[in-house]
A = this chain, B = another copy of it.
Amino acid sequence: MLINTIKELREQVKNWKKQGLTIGLVPTMGALHQGHLSLIKKCVEKCDKTIVSVFVNPIQFCPGEDLEKYPRTLDEDKKLCEDAGVNIVFAPSPKEMYGEGHILSNDFLTYVIPPFFYVDKLCGKSRVGHFDGVCTVVNKLFNIVQPDFAFFGEKDRQQLIILKKMVKDLNIPVEIVPCPIIRETSGLALSSRNKYLTDKGKLDALALSKILFNIKICYNKGIKDVKALKETAYAFLNNSHALEYLEFRDKDTLEEKFSADNNTIVFIAAKVENVRLIDNIAL
């Protein structure tokens, strides 16, 4: 069932809650792929009712980013959701979410702002304001849907860590369920932005996952020194890659690691054919 308004959605959810049913939410920006479908599958298994939100959230795009050209494929998304057993696809308009003529700035809109320590690094460093937009829209979706569980992919690991922190700091009565990265057989992490890549670009993009897998192999062989582990990356990079970061950080606090351990996540971001790609791996 497709629902476009907050009012209708709330009525449906209210009915389910009265029956004592558990509600799961999978927040997405649409352009669904196997990665999203793995989240949806987990949600359908775990919860009585599954709601997938499809909303390309304007306030999480920075100036110069791909808000306009971001893939919008609602008909296919709807079909995929139906086949996967989703109960509601919630696809509100920007007007429904933010009001008409609303100036989407912190001059006139209440924002949920994650801690600076969590956003001044990794993707937050180049995407200034991005996680403010993410936290604000996820907070809104949580208030609209009031789910018991919400499913987020480990692909966007910094986002996942920040949202878990938001839930804890604001005592939000929702349990965040992390879901593993889904990869092509080549190793490439699935992303809606992979659609922007040519065939050559997709081959070049493999460097990201190869670097991470190789670091994990080296770590398992006993190399803990982060400087030494980072150096193993350069063999995979050439001038097709604009490396943005390769960092070792704590899985909960995002503190930097100088010696890798089992709480370490390795984060990588690079541009290939001017498409910004991210990936990560837990050691």
Mark A residues whose CB is within 8 Å of B. 6, 10, 106-117, 135-136, 139-140, 143-144, 146, 165-166, 169-173
Q: In the bound complex, what is the Cα–Cα distance between A112 and B139 (angstroms)?
A: 10
A-B contact pairs, 8 of them (CB 8 A): A6-B171, A106-B115, A110-B112, A110-B135, A110-B166, A110-B169, A143-B170, A143-B172
Q: Which of A107, A140, A171, A172 has the most CB of B within 10 A?
A: A171
Are B113 and A110 in contact, CB atoms less than 8 angstroms apart?
Answer: yes
Are B107 and A117 in contact, CB atoms less than 8 angstroms apart?
Answer: yes
**Nearest chain B CB to A29 CB, angstrom units:** 18
Q: In the bound complex, what is the Cα–Cα distance between A165 and B99 (angstroms)?
A: 12
Select A110's contact among B109, B114, B143, B173, beta carbons within 8 Å: B114
Are B143 and A173 in contact, CB atoms less than 8 angstroms apart?
Answer: yes
What 10 pairs between A and B have smallest CB-CB spacing?
A: A110-B169, A143-B171, A110-B166, A107-B116, A144-B171, A108-B115, A140-B171, A107-B117, A111-B113, A143-B172
Smallest CB gap from A140: residue in B: B171
Q: In the bound complex, what is the Cα–Cα distance between A143 and B140 (angstroms)?
A: 13
